[in-house]
Chain A
Amino acid sequence: MVVVEVENLTKIYGYPPMLWAKLFGYTLDMPMKGHKMVRAIDNLTLSVQEGEVFGLLGPNGSGKTTLVKLILDINRPTSGRISVFGRRPGNKRVHREVGYLPEQPYFYDNMNAVELLQFYGGLYRMDGDGLRSRIREALGLVGLIGSEHRRLRSYSKGMLQRIGLAQALLSHPKLVLLDEPSTGLDPVGRKQVKDIIARLRVEGSTVFFNTHILSDVEDVADRVAIIHRGKLLKIGKVSEMTISTNRIIVQLRKVEEKYITALADLASKCEVDGDSLVVHLTKADDVPEAIRQLVYAGADIFDVRYYRETLEDVFVREVMGEDGQGGVNK
């Protein structure tokens, strides 16, 4: 089942209302420069399946937060369609199934954590012992037991992030939207976030999170989308995205010139990295032959493995390849 579906979505900040746009001849594909408009999302199409952990990657200003706000009806699309659980965003029944952690969350600072969660729980019509035990559970999950009666104004940035996470998980939502969940957290907190996401996956919740911390995505996401300047650059499973190329890394006792010569017919390029040889084969099928040639040449081989790209390699390649530089929307 598709939980979130986004189709040909465009969001242009500053775009006039529909009637005004028609009257004055504004079109979505017109250049926005000079009109004080920003194209935050550009004809984006993607879907998130039930039970999956979906990571949205992009540099600052790429439209990640805008997309989440559109999914929650905090902002309205300029064109295109969004559906959440098959309904339009903003529907109360949809929001009953959604938990959301905003980027750099701030709350009513004259409340303490328990009061805040009681208020939010009340909005989900939770009450009584059920709410009390759930609050305790959520606070335990994010490591805030012991600080729950302190006013939020005395909380650190990391603690606010944790209470934000607690309120997002309070109602056992089927869809959890996390906007930069690891921002402001120490390494322990980041590990806890990853554990929470993993736990949500086991419980069957769908998690949609955006971040620019690539290691978070790599460790927990089932699928990843990379967006830049509002456009979808790449989408797929992490393992597919970081698929091995025709490169192998051969660890030898010592790298010698004759080994490189032995591989001349099979490899387009050989790089020396200490005692390892990174071989760029022309064909993936040539791996056994390459090893054979190295053995014939007298090499002592200790290890052979495929070179896998990291998500960072993919991200940098995709984003930099887009326009030769990173950077935010203009």
Chain B
Amino acid sequence: MIMMSRHTFASILRTRIFWVMLIFSIVLISVIGYFLTSEMIKGAAYGGLGFEGGRHHHERGVGNYEYSGNKPSREEVDKMEMPIGDLGCDPEMGGAGKMFNTPFVAAIQYFGFIGMAFFSNLAAIFIMMGLLPGELERRSIYTLLSKPLSRSDVFFGKLFGGWGAVIVFNFALGLMLTIFMFLAGAPFKPKFLLVALVSTLSPMLFGTIALVLGTFLRATAVGFFTFILLVFSADWGSMAIYVVGHELLKWENLTDFILKYLPPLAKIKVLVGAFINYNLFTNLTDLFQSMDIYKVYTKWWLNALFVAAYFLVLIVAGWGIFRRKEFN
């Protein structure tokens, strides 16, 4: 399995497309970010989601702001101390809106990290979608399966090798953005490197979905097409989840309630039920881009549990399919 992982990892890094994607992502993020500065950046400063987003954060009582029931004005938001770790703000820099000392830094910080998530996810799909169907397309799977490797070795070798490449991609992107920020005059923050590293979970998950799709497809192109369909359907799903989730949030702290009052069996049932009501990627953003997690939203370990469950279900499904697959 180690040999297979190393081979997969090296093969991906050897391809020209990997480096083209990486350079393209860095350039695009920097250029677009630079030209989308000024007003948008000012908005972005209020909580990483624009002015409305910042206000939205504070409606829930984050930082030093106590929610009174009325929407805070812009002046009020200006005075707020934002939670440490929110990408848009830093109390050490004097409160909301004052962190970005140049538009360029702001651009990289805001658009950079959002762009990073986008491009890394995209790259992960590109990288991992073709790993298994690609073997079939070039007919190298027959030779591979005749070697002293189990099907599990091949599957997990591809998975770990693919993950390795995705981590390199994401971390390289994060490193470059951090260096750009530093060069543009922002204080060097090792935290951003950490963010780059841990935010890799999202592209890793996208990559895993792509790999699992690849286990029952014969052509990489079909995989991409299927993925696009899935993303569209997931968008609708996300919207539904967003609505349902926000309706739930109005009631009370759901997870606190579950943990405090329900007996163990009921807890499991409710958590399983809640599983589909959580927007995975919103939780991931909150959890892994080191933003404050709203108390009303969920417990950190529940987020981690959801993420682990997604990985587990996908990996077990992909592994099961690949082990039984016939290669005609």
Contacts and interface: CB of A to CB of B under 8 A. Distances in A.
Interface string A4-43: 0000000001000000000000000000000000000000
B146 interface: yes
Interface stretch (A55-63, A96-104, A314-322): A96-104
Contact of B143 (A13, A92, A105, A109): A105
Nearest to B11: A108
B134 to A, nearest CB: 10
Contacts of B148: 92-93, 95-96, 123-124
B15 interface: yes
Interface string A68-80: 0100111110000
Given A110-B15, A123-B3, A164 B143 contact: yes
Nearest to A17: B324
B150 interface: yes
B328 interface: yes
Contacts of A98: 146
A76 B138 contact: no
B301 interface: no
Contacts of A100: 142-143, 146
Contacts of B3: 119, 122-123
A167 interface: yes
Contacts of B326: 74-76
Contacts of B328: 13, 75
A120 B142 CA distance: 13
A151 to B, nearest CB: 11
B279 to A, nearest CB: 36
Interface string A191-235: 000000000000000000000000000000000000000000000
A89 to B, nearest CB: 10
B142 A102 contact: yes
Nearest to A66: B328
Contact of A104 (B139, B145, B146, B327): B139
Interface residues of A, number: 31
B269 interface: no
B146 A106 contact: no
Interface in B182-218: none
Given A105-B139, A123-B3, A72 B145 contact: yes
A142 to B, nearest CB: 15
A108 B140 contact: yes
B149 A106 contact: no
A178 to B, nearest CB: 12
B260 interface: no
B250 interface: no
Interface string B296-328: 000000000000000000000000000010111
Given A75-B326, A75-B327, A122-B3, A106 B140 contact: yes
Interface in B140-169: 140-143, 145-151
Contacts of B138: 106-109
B146 A72 contact: yes
A82 to B, nearest CB: 14
Nearest to A173: B146
B149 A95 contact: yes
Nearest to B149: A123
Given A105-B143, A107-B140, A109-B138, A92 B15 contact: no
A109 B135 CA distance: 11
A108 B11 CA distance: 9
Interface in B1-27: 3-4, 7, 11, 14-15
A119 B14 CA distance: 14
Nearest to B4: A123
Contacts of B139: 102, 104-106
Contact of A74 (B4, B140, B142): B142
Nearest to A75: B326
A305 to B, nearest CB: 45
Could you say which of A99, A106, A107, A123 has the most chain B C-beta atoms within 10 Å of its C-beta?
A123
Contacts of A75: 326-328
Could you say which of B142, B149, B327 has the most chain A C-beta atoms within 10 Å of its C-beta?
B142
A102 B149 contact: no
Contacts of A92: 148-150
Nearest to B151: A90
Contacts of B11: 108, 110
B55 to A, nearest CB: 52
14 contacts: A69-B327, A74-B141, A90-B151, A92-B149, A92-B150, A95-B148, A95-B149, A100-B143, A100-B146, A102-B139, A107-B140, A110-B14, A110-B15, A123-B149
Interface of A: 13, 69, 72-76, 90, 92-93, 95-96, 98-100, 102, 104-110, 119-120, 122-124, 164, 167, 177
Interface of B: 3-4, 7, 11, 14-15, 138-143, 145-151, 324, 326-328
Given A75-B326, A107-B138, 5 more contacts: A74-B141, A102-B142, A102-B143, A107-B143, A122-B7
Chain A to chain B: the 6 pairs with minimum beta-carbon distance, closest first = A100-B146, A102-B142, A95-B148, A96-B148, A123-B147, A106-B139
